[in-house]
Amino acid sequence: MRSTTRLLGGIAAVALCAAFATPSPASAAPETPGLLADFGFEAAGATFDGGAALATTHGTATVVPGPTGNAARLGSAFWLDVKKKDGTPLLAGLDAVTISYDSKPDATGNTGWTVFAAENTAAQTFGNEHYLGYLDKTTGVTVERYDNGGSRNTAGNLSVTKSDTAWKHVDLVISGSDAQLFVNGQRMVVNTTGPKLTDILGASGGILQVGKANWGAGEYFAGLIDNLKIYDGALSPEELGVVPTASHPASALAIPAEITGDLPSSVLGKTVTWTASGAGADSIAADGAVTLPASGSVAVSLTAHIDGVETPVTADAEIVAVGGEISTSVKDVTVIAGVKSDPLAYDDDRRADALYVSARPAGAQAWEPLNRAQSILYVAWDGTQSAKPNAQMGSPALLRRADGSLAVAASQNNATDSIYVWDSADGATFTNQRAVKVATDGSIVTDPRIVFDAASAAYKVFWTDRLTGEGRVTRLADLTASAVPSEATAADVRAVGPQESSAFALAADEFATFYDHYVDLQNTGVEQPADVEVAAGAALSADDLPESVTLDYNDGSTKQLGVAWDEDALAAIDTSAPGEHRVTGVVQQTAQEMVSDARADPDLFFNEDDGYWYLTGSHYSIPSDAPDSALIDANAYRKIGLKRATTIDGLKDAPEQIVIDPDAGTPGLRAQYPNTFYGWGGYIWAQEFHKINGQWWIVAGMNKGYAPTGGWCDNTVLIPYTGDQASLEAGGLVDPANWGQPTVLEGAAFDVSYLERVENGHTQGYWIMPNGAKLWVAKAKMGPKGTVPLIDGSLTQIYSISQPWEYGKSAPTPSDTNEGNDQGIVEAPFMFEHGDYTYITYSGGTVDKYYDLGMLRAAKGANLTDPKSWTQVAFPVLTTNDTADGRIGGVGHAGTGHNSVAVDERGNLVLAYHARPYPEQHTGSAAGGLFDPDRNTWFKAVNVRASGLLDFSLSSEQEVAPANRTVTVTVRVAGPSVKTTVSPRCVAGRAALVVTVQNLGSSPVSASISTIAGSREIVSLAAGKSTSATFGTRTAAVSPGEVSVLPAGASTPVRTPYPAIVCG
C-alpha cells in the first residue's frame, strides 16, 4: 500500500501506537528527496515497482490484506531481489542510508531476515561475514553489520529485545560507522562502531535482498512486510516523525549543595534571577555571580526565578572557599614521522581514553600535570579492544556525591547510552566502577557532567546527544548500577575543553589531599646538618660528621641520604687552635644506571652471613647487542650466575660467577647427570635466593630433563645450600659445589618469590606466585634448619588481571604504528615489607615495551592470604613512559618490569628491574621477545611518599635537586678550657717560672703543668678560679721557652710562651 505519512511508512505514528485500530486513507503525499525505493506491495507480480528501484520476485509473490491495503507475505517461497531500474546495485557508493518498513513477523518458522545487503550472493561463513542484515522477530529486532576477516567482530551490531506480535514500524539510520534503530517512532538503540556500508558491500555495491539471507542454502523471513522505503541519506529524528525532546527549564537547572563558582544566569535561553538569604546572602548577585569566602564556607538559602516559569527553584547550600582546581581529561595520541607521542597508547584506545589529571592552585594561571602526566584510572578490562571498543573513558569529570565525597564519571567512549561512575573514599583514589544507564531511548551520551541537585535532592546528569548535538538532562535517585534514569529532557549543551577536559574546584583541604597524592615528587630542600663541636686538640675524621642529611619533598615527605664529606678539607682543620671551619659534602644517591648486561628478572639481596650484596638474573649467553641471527632460545636461560660486592654500587663492576650450569653436568655427579643439574636443566627463569628456616635456597623455574632448545619451565624448584657456616661466611654462595638436589615447589612453573615476617613472636614465611594471570599466596612450612619450606596448606588467589595496562600487544613488536593483538599478563610478583605496609610489585603486559610494574598494598600485619587485605594502585608505578626519553638513567629504555626491592644501609629502598633499550635495537620476529637478550638489569632509588605509597618513577634530579646535592657542615673547634700566664722571676739569684692557671669553664677542671723545671698536677680547680705554682731552676738564666698545660680529657696542651731571664 502507499504511504500516508512522510516517513513512518503506510501506518501513521498515532495508528501504530494504537495497534493499527484505525486505517488511514491513501493520499498523494509528495516524495521525499533522496528516496531510492518505495514499495507498497499492493499487487503481486513478477516484479514490484519501487519508483527508482525494482524488486524482482523469487518464487511466487503473495500479497495479503494488511491494516490498510495489502502487504507482502514473505517466506522461503517468496523473497525479493532489489536493484535500481537500470539493473545496478541500489546501495552502491552509499555510506549514509535510511531503511524503513512496517512488519508483522510470524511467531514460528521465522529466521527473521527482512533486509539483507551483502558484497555478493555467495554463502556467508562464520568469521568472514560481509553483510548488513535485519533479524526481525516477535521477540525483537537485531541489526548485524559485519566486515570480518577471520574472526567474528560483533561490535557494530544493534539489538532491541521486546516481545511484540503486532505490526510495528522499523527505521534504521546509518551514517558511516554510526547506526540508529527506531521502533514505532522511538529510538531504541544506537551504535557508533560498525563498519561502513561501502566497506561491507565493496566497490561493486553488492546485492540487496528482502526476505532472504545467504547463509547456507538460504535463511528467510516469515511474515508480513509493507511500506519498504530506502533513502540515500541519514534522516533526522524529526524527519522520521520522532516526538521532539521535552523542554522543562527548571529540570535543566541544578543547584549544587557546595557552591564553588558562579551560578547560571540563564537556562535554555531563559533568564535566571537569583535571590538569597542567610549568612551568605551578600555573596550572591542577581545574575548568579558568586563571591567566594577567603576561607571555610558560609551557608546560604537560594531562590532561582526562571523567566516564564511560575514556580521558583529553591535550595539550601554552602558557599565554599576554593583551594584549587583539578582538570580531568583523556589523551590525544599523535603520530609524527611514524613515531607516536605515547609509545604505549594509540589514539582512542584504552590507555589513551583514561583519566588524566592536572592541578591549578587558586590564583595560579598554569595547569600542572599530575602523576607524571600519566593516567590515574582506567576502565577495568572488559574483553578485547575490538570486541568491546567502548570500554574506555570519554569526557571524564569529577563530581560531588550527596554525602559530600568525591567521585568521577565518564561516558563509555562517548558512544553508548550509559556512563561509568567511580567513588572516592579518601578524596584521591577511585574504586567501585559500575555502569549507570542514562539515556532511556538508546541515545548516545557524550560529555556527561553530574551535579547533586540540592533543590530536588537527586543527581542530575547533563550530557550531549551525540547524534543531534543537543543538550540533555536525566535525573537519577542514586548512582548505583541499578539506578533507573528519568526520561531525558532538554538542557544547555555542555562545553568541554581540549582532550575532552573539564575542571572541578575543590576546597583547600580537598585540593591538598588530591594534589599531594599525585604531584610529581620534587626535592624542595635539604636540612643543613647541625654544627659539630670539637674539643681543642681533639682528633677529627669523617666519622665525627653527620652520616646523613634529611631531604624534604613537595608532598610533605622526607628522606635520609648519606653524605660523602671532603676528606681534604677535614684534614686541613687544625684542632689545636679554636675557630670555625666549613666542610662540604656530596649527598649520596643510588645511581640510576644499567648494572648488568643481558640479565633479566633481577634479584638483589644482602647476605648477612658474609656481609656482601648479591645480584642475579635470568641468564643470556650472548650480549644484549648480539646480532639478530643470534636471538634464539639456545642462547637463553641456561645458567644461574651471581655478582658479589661489599656495596650495592660495587655490583655494577663485580664479576659474575656461575653457580648452576646444568649443561656442564652436576658437580661431583657428572657421570650420573652429564648435562643436567640433578636431572633439571634450562630454561631457568627468574631465580631468587632466600634464607628460609636457617638455610639458603635458590628458588627457580626449571625444565625437567635436558632440552637444548624448547625447554619451557615445568616447575619451580628449591635448591638447598649444602655448605657449612664457615663456607657461607667465606662467600660460599658462589661455589657450585655448595648447592644440592632440587625439590619441587608446587603451584607455579616460574616467577615465585618469598617473604618472611614475625607473627605472634614466630617467624612465618609466605610464598607468592603467578598462575593464569592471577597472583596466589600461601604460607610456607616453617621449622628447624633443614626443613624444606614447601607450601603449608593451600594457595589463595589474591588478585586477578583487571587493567588495560596489564595487556600488551602480542604482535607486532616493537612497531609504533600497528596496534597488534591484546595479550594479558600478570606475573613476577615480589612481596616485601617497609614502614607501615606490605607491598607486592608485579609485572603486567607483554615482555617488550609494554612490560610494566603494578603494585598492591596491604596494612602491615594484615592477613596476606585474604584478597580483601590488598588494595591495587590503579596505574602502573613504572612504565616505558617513565624511561623512554632517558629521564631516568639518562638513556632511553623500555619494558620496565620484573623487579626486586632491597633496603640499603640507611633504610632506603633500592629497585632492581630489567628493561630494554628504547628504541628497540633489534629487528625481526624475535626482537622484543623472550629470546632477545637486551633485557638488562637496572638500579634506581625509590621514595616513600607521604601517603605511604612508593614512588618508583622519580629521577635522580627529583630525588635530589642539583642545588641541594652539596651540603655544608660547620666544625667548631672549642677554645682552651684554661688560661695560662707565665712570669719569669729571679729568686735567690736563680731563675724561676711562676705559672698561673685560670679555669675558664663552667665546671671544675684538672690539668697537668709541664715546664723545664718540672711538672705538677692541678686537681679539680673550681670554675672561674685561678691557682699559681712556682717552678725554680738551678741556673741564673733561662732561654725563651714555653709552658704546657694539658686539661684533663684534651689531647692537645695549651702552650704559653715566656721570655728569657738572667739573674745576678
How far apart (Å, rounded) are the C-alpha atoms in residues 867 and 42? Answer: 68
The predicted model gives 421-439 an average pLDDT of: 98
Range of the structural domain that residue 290 is part of: 258-320
1052, pLDDT greater than 80:
no
Domain assignment present for residue 50? The answer is yes
Domain assignment present for residue 3? The answer is no
Helix (H, G, I), strand (E, B) or coil at 332: coil
Would the pTM of this model clear 0.75, i.e. be above it?
yes
How far apart (Å, rounded) are the C-alpha atoms in residues 7 and 236? Answer: 11
How far apart (Å, rounded) are the C-alpha atoms in residues 886 and 822? Answer: 27
DSSP assignment, residue 621? S
Predicted pLDDT of residue 810:
55
How far apart (Å, rounded) are the C-alpha atoms in residues 384 and 398? Answer: 27
| Residue spans of beta strands (DSSP E) within 362-470 | 368-369, 393-400, 406-412, 418-423, 431-437, 445-453, 458-465
Which of 40, 14, 17 has the alpha carbon at shortest distance from 27?
40
Instruction: Choose between 579 and 830: higher pLDDT.
Output: 830
The predicted model gives 540-545 an average pLDDT of: 93
- Could you tell me if 312 and 401 lie in one domain? no
Domain assignment present for residue 105? The answer is yes
The predicted model gives 754-766 an average pLDDT of: 97
How far apart (Å, rounded) are the C-alpha atoms in residues 577 and 581? Answer: 11
Predicted pLDDT of residue 820:
55
1022, pLDDT greater than 90:
yes
Domain end (from 916, 932, 959) = 959
Predicted pLDDT of residue 887:
97
Predicted pLDDT of residue 23:
33
| Pairing assessment for the beta strands 871-872 and 852-859 based on DSSP bridges | antiparallel
Q: What is the DSSP string of 807-832?
A: EEE-SSSS-SS----EEE-EEEEEEE
Domain assignment present for residue 550? The answer is yes
The predicted model gives 756-769 an average pLDDT of: 97
Q: Which long-range contacts (CB under 8 A, 24 or more apart) does 959-962 make?
A: 959/521, 959/523, 959/551, 959/559, 959/589, 960/523, 960/526, 960/551, 960/561, 960/587, 960/589, 961/522, 961/523, 961/524
Predicted pLDDT of residue 30:
39
**Nine-digit cell string for 207:** 546485492
- Could you tell me if 940 and 852 lie in one domain? yes
360, pLDDT greater than 90:
yes
Q: What is the DSSP string of 83-115?
A: EETTSS-TTTT-SEEEEEEEEEE-SSS---EEE
**Nine-digit cell string for 381:** 578490562
- Could you tell me if 553 and 501 lie in one domain? no
> Is residue 383 very low, low, confident or very high in pLDDT (cuts 50, 70, 90)?
confident
Domain end (from 271, 287, 320) = 320
Helix boundaries (H) for 582-667: none
**Least confident stretch, 65-69, 74-78, 135-139, 707-711:** 65-69
How far apart (Å, rounded) are the C-alpha atoms in residues 388 and 380? Answer: 12
Q: What is the DSSP string of 888-906?
A: TTTS-EEEEEEEEEEE-TT
How far apart (Å, rounded) are the C-alpha atoms in residues 613 and 760? Answer: 30
Domain assignment present for residue 381? The answer is yes
Which of 457, 492, 493 has the alpha carbon at shortest distance from 478?
457
**Helical (H) or strand (E) element with 762:** strand 762-770
16, pLDDT greater than 60:
no
Burial class, 785, CB count within 10 angstroms (exposed 0-12 / middle 13-18 / buried 19+): exposed
The CATH number given to whatever domain includes residue 555 is 2.60.40
Whether the bond into 518 is cis, omega within 30 of 0: no
pLDDT in tens, 194-206: 999 999 999 999 9
The partner residues of 769 in beta bridges, in order of sequence, read: 776
CB of 521 closer than 8 Å to CB of 943: yes
> Is residue 934 very low, low, confident or very high in pLDDT (cuts 50, 70, 90)?
very high
How far apart (Å, rounded) are the C-alpha atoms in residues 107 and 90? Answer: 31
419, pLDDT greater than 60:
yes
How far apart (Å, rounded) are the C-alpha atoms in residues 1004 and 907? Answer: 43
How far apart (Å, rounded) are the C-alpha atoms in residues 227 and 229? Answer: 6
Q: Indicate the average pLDDT of the chain.
A: 93
Ramachandran angles phi, psi of 862, nearest 5°:
-70, 160
pLDDT in tens, 285-324: 999 999 999 999 999 999 999 999 999 999 999 999 999 9
How far apart (Å, rounded) are the C-alpha atoms in residues 262 and 708? Answer: 73
Question: What does each C-alpha distance from 1000 to 975, 996, 1023, 1026 come to in angstroms?
Answer: 10, 13, 7, 9
> Is residue 19 very low, low, confident or very high in pLDDT (cuts 50, 70, 90)?
very low
Which residues, including other chains, have CB under 8 Å from residue 259's CB and lie 6 or more apart? 290, 300, 317, 318, 319, 320
The CATH number given to whatever domain includes residue 145 is 2.60.120.200
Q: How many CA atoms lie within 13 A of 1057 on its CB side?
A: 4
The predicted model gives 910-928 an average pLDDT of: 94
CB atoms within 10 A of CB 25: 7
Burial class, 363, CB count within 10 angstroms (exposed 0-12 / middle 13-18 / buried 19+): exposed
How far apart (Å, rounded) are the C-alpha atoms in residues 123 and 121? Answer: 6
The predicted model gives 343-350 an average pLDDT of: 90
How far apart (Å, rounded) are the C-alpha atoms in residues 76 and 959? Answer: 76
pLDDT in tens, 169-228: 999 999 999 999 999 988 888 898 899 999 999 999 999 999 999 999 999 999 999 999
Question: What does each C-alpha distance from 58 to 49, 126, 191, 211, 429 come to in angstroms?
Answer: 15, 26, 33, 10, 63
Instruction: Choose between 67 and 260: higher pLDDT.
Output: 260
Helix (H, G, I), strand (E, B) or coil at 456: coil
14, pLDDT greater than 70:
no
pLDDT in tens, 785-808: 999 999 999 999 999 999 999 998
Predicted pLDDT of residue 277:
98
**Helical (H) or strand (E) element with 198:** helix 197-201
Instruction: Choose between 818 and 241: higher pLDDT.
Output: 241
Predicted pLDDT of residue 730:
97
Q: Which residue's C-alpha cell is 608532598? A: 555
Q: How many CA atoms lie within 13 A of 8 on its CB side?
A: 22
pLDDT in tens, 577-591: 778 899 999 999 999
- Could you tell me if 460 and 336 lie in one domain? yes
Which of 213, 212, 233, 225 has the alpha carbon at shortest distance from 131?
213
**Least confident stretch, 20-24, 131-135, 158-162, 1013-1017:** 20-24
Domain end (from 973, 1008, 1026) = 973
> Is residue 872 very low, low, confident or very high in pLDDT (cuts 50, 70, 90)?
very high
- Could you tell me if 376 and 409 lie in one domain? yes
> Is residue 367 very low, low, confident or very high in pLDDT (cuts 50, 70, 90)?
very high
- Could you tell me if 929 and 1031 lie in one domain? no
Domain assignment present for residue 410? The answer is yes
pLDDT in tens, 71-124: 999 999 999 999 999 999 999 999 999 999 999 999 999 999 999 999 999 999
831, pLDDT greater than 60:
yes
The predicted model gives 650-678 an average pLDDT of: 97
- Could you tell me if 495 and 530 lie in one domain? no
Question: What does each C-alpha distance from 188 to 171, 466, 654 come to in angstroms?
Answer: 10, 15, 69
The predicted model gives 896-914 an average pLDDT of: 96
280, pLDDT greater than 90:
yes
- Could you tell me if 215 and 339 lie in one domain? no
Domain assignment present for residue 2? The answer is no
Burial class, 621, CB count within 10 angstroms (exposed 0-12 / middle 13-18 / buried 19+): middle
The predicted model gives 462-484 an average pLDDT of: 95
How far apart (Å, rounded) are the C-alpha atoms in residues 740 and 717? Answer: 11
Sort residue 518 into left (φ over 0), alpha (ψ -120 to 50) or beta. alpha
The predicted model gives 567-574 an average pLDDT of: 93
Cα Rg, the chain, nearest whole Å: 41
- Could you tell me if 265 and 215 lie in one domain? no
- Could you tell me if 502 and 373 lie in one domain? yes
- Tally of domains in the chain: 6
Predicted pLDDT of residue 21:
31
The predicted model gives 137-149 an average pLDDT of: 95
- Could you tell me if 572 and 647 lie in one domain? no
Domain assignment present for residue 729? The answer is yes
Which residues, including other chains, have CB under 8 Å from residue 204's CB and lie 6 or more apart? 89, 92, 119, 120
- Could you tell me if 670 and 690 lie in one domain? yes
The partner residues of 57 in beta bridges, in order of sequence, read: 80
Predicted pLDDT of residue 29:
41
* Cα maximum dimension of the chain: 162
> Is residue 33 very low, low, confident or very high in pLDDT (cuts 50, 70, 90)?
low
| Overall size of the chain counted in residues | 1064
